[in-house]
Chains A and B, each alone.
Chain A
Amino acid sequence: MSISVKDVEHVADLARLDLSEEEKDRYAGQLNAILKYAEKLNELDTDGVEPTSHVLPLANVMREDEVRPSWPVEKVLANAPDEEDGQFKVPAVLE
């Protein structure tokens, strides 16, 4: 399987990245090399092998549903690139 510049554009779109033409070419080449190497995994028969998503034997971790203090709004907004009236501000979504 080989990754084309078109594939790179599709993946970049999913990842919300704008890539330059030079980056697209470079990533196509590098991703191809990495994925070709990853095909090594197909040497292994993994039929019937359970996937490991996590090494700890954890199921759902629950806590009491208690009211606890939350951060004051001014702290939460302290690192916001733009804010107004105690809210994060972004460009208009609806015209």
Chain B
Amino acid sequence: MSLFDLRLSDVHDRLARKEITVSDLTETSLKRIAETDGEIGAFLTLDEEGARQSAKELDGQLAAGGERGLLFGLPAGIKDNMATEGLRTTCASRFLDNHIPIYDATAVRKLRSAQAVTIGKLNMDEFAMGGSNENSAYHPVRNPWDLTRVPGGSSGGSAAAVAAGQVYFALGSDTGGSIRQPAAYCGVVGLKPTYGLVSRFGLVAFASSLDQIGPITKNVEDAAYVLQAIAGHDPMDSTSADVDIPDYTSALTGDVRGLRIGVPREYLGQGVDPRVKERVMEALRQFESLGARWEEVSLPHTEYAVAAYYLLASSEASSNLARFDGVRYGVRAENPDNLLDLYRRSRSEGFGPEVKRRIMLGTYALSSGYYDAYYLKAQKVRTLIKRDFDQVLEKFDLIVGPTAPTPAFKLGEQVDDPLQMYMNDILTIPVSLAGVPAISVPCGFADGLPVGLQIIGKPFDETTVLRAAYAYESATDHHTRRPALS
């Protein structure tokens, strides 16, 4: 049993009783990474020296009897699209191979104030574009449950690192499912908060109207603690919501009596693996036995979400990624003929195929003559999708379904078919377009591969999402299973 299998409160009790030190926790992490990351490939940059230094400082504070932060001493991995001061941040792109941020993202700064220990930066699909982590410019990540399979993406490194016990928790980012889908594939918990709850300052922008940072953890309790640490208004992000932050841990009651759950028929229909459907039905019966009630509902525009999403997200990406011009940061092409050549060659050499594909799609959708047909049309469909959620969430507290239509697929299986790859996000994308919060929790296995249950809530009602997820988790033991890694 690893120290990382202990509950957060138990870790803190042991620290308080001086049975363990923060350095022990850090060394547990570094040792596990040394043992397993050759196979998994979750890390892009390790900060052993920085982590040991922070651990030493925290141990000093502990000895002096100082107050402990919410995440005191816990080894954390950060997805490599969040700026970390003095620590290389690449977005898994050759373009940023040498990039060392001069400031911390707000979410990272908040982790530091909560006294977590940053272990390093985690692999991802380049610029968070992808659902398998195969778009990393460095190396793929392997699913700890089956090394021939993908961990999901784009936060594949974050989910795999938590599943493999390399870190206590990780931060991921979610634009169309990039926290929830890898969490489902790797058998861990992933929470995408309501759009605007967590500051995006210092998160390298992919699609600004959708991007959101959130925790990837082993259990729901940890997710509540990490969310508590990172949520809140930030004047540095003008889209950050100015809302009161509740005590999320108070949601961890285990009581879901009287909760009303809507189950969209579109989430259990065509294209959903029967084994996934079965696990979800079992989870619904579990909720019933805990005193919640569920009934079938409809989100009629579900089938249009993927098309709308790829137009909108790619359009936003094409605009956001225009900043990578080889002038102020990043890798510049050698011996450019002139300024235009510098831009063109730096971008062409620096970006990988999926990033170029989305820039092309977005540029096309925004270009003169096509804007109304594609971009504006997709924005209008987004309104219809959002209305679907508004209507169901008027009558129900939560919406529940699978996180992904299938368990993790094989590496290489879908790389040549971008459209097929996009379909893996068919159940997470509508939620992103509506901007509402959702969590993926382990709900069992399909032939040894984890299956994720998606619990979706009302805007800024993470409390009810966490309450239901915690009650379900407490009544089951799926989240306690660990992959059999060497």
Binding site for B on A (CB under 8 A): 3, 7-8, 11-12, 14-19, 23, 27, 30-31, 33-35, 37-38, 40-44, 46, 49-56, 58, 61, 63, 71, 75-76, 78-82, 88, 90-93
Contact partner of A16 (CB less than 8 A), chosen from B344, B376, B380, is B344
Count of CB-CB pairs between chains A and B under 8 Å? 155
Tell me the nearest residue of chain B to A46, going by C-beta: B380
Tell me the nearest residue of chain B to A48, going by C-beta: B380
Tell me the nearest residue of chain A to B329, going by C-beta: A79
Q: With A15-B318, A78-B102, A91-B336 in contact, is A41–B239 under 8 Å at CB?
A: no
Q: With A63-B235, A75-B102 in contact, is A3–B378 under 8 Å at CB?
A: no
How distant is B327 from chain A, measured CB to nearest CB, in Å? Answer: 5
How distant is B306 from chain A, measured CB to nearest CB, in Å? Answer: 8
B357 at the interface (CB under 8 A from A): yes
A58 to B240, CA, bound (A): 10
1/0 per residue B377-388: CB within 8 Å of A? Answer: 111111110100
B1 at the interface (CB under 8 A from A): no
B339 contact set on A, CB distance < 8 A: 90-91, 93
Tell me the nearest residue of chain B to A80, going by C-beta: B328
Most chain-A CB neighbours within 10 Å: which of B301, B345, B360?
Answer: B360
Q: Are B327 and A55 in contact, CB atoms less than 8 angstroms apart?
A: no
Q: With A17-B348, A41-B308 in contact, is A52–B359 under 8 Å at CB?
A: no
B326 at the interface (CB under 8 A from A): yes
Q: Are A41 and B378 in contact, CB atoms less than 8 angstroms apart?
A: yes
A11 to B196, CA, bound (A): 32
Q: Report the 9 A-B pairs with minimum CB-CB distance, sorted nearest first.
A: A55-B435, A51-B379, A81-B332, A79-B329, A46-B380, A61-B238, A52-B382, A18-B348, A15-B363
Q: Binding site of B, secondary structure by majority: helix, strand, loop or mixed?
A: helix
Contact partner of A11 (CB less than 8 A), chosen from B343, B367, B377, B380, is B367
1/0 per residue B327-368: CB within 8 Å of A? Answer: 111111000111111111101100101001101110110010
Q: Are B328 and A44 in contact, CB atoms less than 8 angstroms apart?
A: no
A90 contact set on B, CB distance < 8 A: 327, 339, 342
Q: Are B241 and A56 in contact, CB atoms less than 8 angstroms apart?
A: yes
B209 at the interface (CB under 8 A from A): yes
Q: Are B330 and A50 in contact, CB atoms less than 8 angstroms apart?
A: no
B311 at the interface (CB under 8 A from A): yes
Q: With A53-B209, A54-B239, A79-B98 in contact, is A30–B364 under 8 Å at CB?
A: no
Q: With A88-B327, A91-B338 in contact, is A42–B377 under 8 Å at CB?
A: yes
How distant is B186 from chain A, measured CB to nearest CB, in Å? Answer: 28
A75 to B322, CA, bound (A): 22
Interchain Cβ contacts under 8 Å between A and B, 30 examples: A7-B364, A11-B364, A16-B322, A17-B344, A23-B356, A27-B360, A30-B357, A30-B418, A31-B361, A31-B364, A33-B418, A35-B364, A38-B307, A38-B310, A38-B311, A41-B304, A41-B307, A44-B304, A50-B383, A51-B376, A51-B382, A51-B383, A52-B379, A52-B383, A55-B195, A58-B239, A75-B102, A78-B102, A79-B98, A88-B328
1/0 per residue B234-249: CB within 8 Å of A? Answer: 0100110100000000
B235 contact set on A, CB distance < 8 A: 63
Q: Are A18 and B344 in contact, CB atoms less than 8 angstroms apart?
A: yes
Q: Are A17 and B356 in contact, CB atoms less than 8 angstroms apart?
A: yes
B100 at the interface (CB under 8 A from A): yes
B374 at the interface (CB under 8 A from A): yes
Tell me the nearest residue of chain A to B381, going by C-beta: A41
B379 contact set on A, CB distance < 8 A: 51-53
How distant is A27 from chain B, measured CB to nearest CB, in Å? Answer: 6
A19 contact set on B, CB distance < 8 A: 348, 356
Tell me the nearest residue of chain B to A54, going by C-beta: B209
Q: Are A56 and B307 in contact, CB atoms less than 8 angstroms apart?
A: no
Tell me the nearest residue of chain B to A40, going by C-beta: B307
A55 to B376, CA, bound (A): 15
B353 contact set on A, CB distance < 8 A: 23
